[in-house]
Amino acid sequence: MSSTTTTSSTSPPKKLTWLITGCSSPSGFGLTLAHLALSAGHTVLASSRNPSHTPSLTADFERLGGHWLTLDVTSPLTPQTLSTSLPAGISLSSIDILVNNAGYCSFSPIETAKEEEVRDMMETMYFGPLRLIQAVLPGMRERRFGTVVNFSSGAALDGNPTMGAYAGAKGGMDALSKVLAKEVAPFNIRVLTVVLGTFNTNFGQGFDFSQVVLPVDYKGSGAEQMINVLSSGKLKPNGDKEKAMKAVYDVVVGTGVGAGHEGERFLPLGKDMLTRVGMVQEYLSHGVEVFGEVAKSVAVDE
């Protein structure tokens, strides 16, 4: 089986129906992408766990012609329950683009991570997206067209200390996405993983770092340094979210920087992500260089 990151894809229809999760923040990726797609004339279903917490934001989006869904990705969704929340005239089988964006990070060393928080992150960034993927795939497969976009992070490639649980959730979805892409390629369904670096969003801003208690042995460690940097608010973003979401939009619909790349499955965004990808390549190459002969030595004797 080929491990190529490219699949063939036919041209999408001019007007697409998008379902985007995690749109509650005015400074987040989800809402930014939702507005881009809406302004381009597409049908857009933005969603969040508690729209009642952002009434003006929701009302403004609907006033522009968009739709807003109450969608808690951590709940045990079924295609039936999801269908009941869709606006009139839109069904699960009509969704062309699913964007799994909802996510958050709770920071702590793996040693002291609370299982409840780890499980909630897995529900939000692994099981939730999985349930949505399973809900929309039958319609995409029947129509022989669709795109699943999973927002990932550099943490999934090579996570920093205190981000282990977040990295696990994102990394799990990355691995699933690679297999899914192979399974649904025959049906002209594309799976795109977007790996994002540090951007000018509110990521991590709502976290109470004072609750992180490090064992004394962690003093001066990478974990403590990471907590200090994050809690100080001095971590400068490398990327502009507006530019990033324009790139995502273009790659999804095959316009602008995405023209001619409609079959690509991996989109790293941010200068820091290019560095991170290079580090992963070096890590893998080093392992092959050191243990390549050992790997071959364990073959069955002929």
Q: What are the backbone dihedrals phi and psi of residue 189, each rounded to the nearest 5 degrees, phi first?
A: -110, 130
pLDDT at 105: 87
Q: What is the pTM of this model?
A: 0.92
Strand arrangement, sheet containing 189-196: 67-70, 43-48, 17-20, 97-100, 146-153, 189-196, 266-269
Does an H or E element contain 58, and which? helix 55-63
> Has residue 12 got a pLDDT over 60?
no
Task: Kindly give, in sequence order, each residue whose CB lies less than 8 Å from that of residue 202, ignoring residues fewer than 6 positions away.
Answer: 25, 27, 28
- Detail the DSSP E strand segments found in the chain: 17-20, 43-48, 67-70, 97-100, 146-153, 189-196, 266-269
Are 142 and 89 in contact by the 8 Å Cβ rule? The answer is no
Q: Rounded distance, CA 12 to CA 16, Å? A: 8
- The rounded percent of the chain whose pLDDT value lies above 90 is 78
Q: Assess if CATH 3.40.50.2300 describes domain 17-272.
A: no
**With the C-alpha atoms ordered 19, 20, 22, 26, is the resulting torsion angle positive or negative?**
negative
Q: Rounded distance, CA 35 to CA 230, Å? A: 29
Rounded to the nearest integer, the mean pLDDT of the chain is: 91
Interval 98-131: pLDDT, tens? 999 999 888 899 999 999 999 999 999 999 999 9
Interval 160-213: pLDDT, tens? 999 999 999 999 999 999 999 999 999 999 999 999 988 877 665 667 777 888
Burial class (CB in 10 A: 0-12, 13-18, 19+), 135: buried
pLDDT at 204: 55
pLDDT at 136: 96
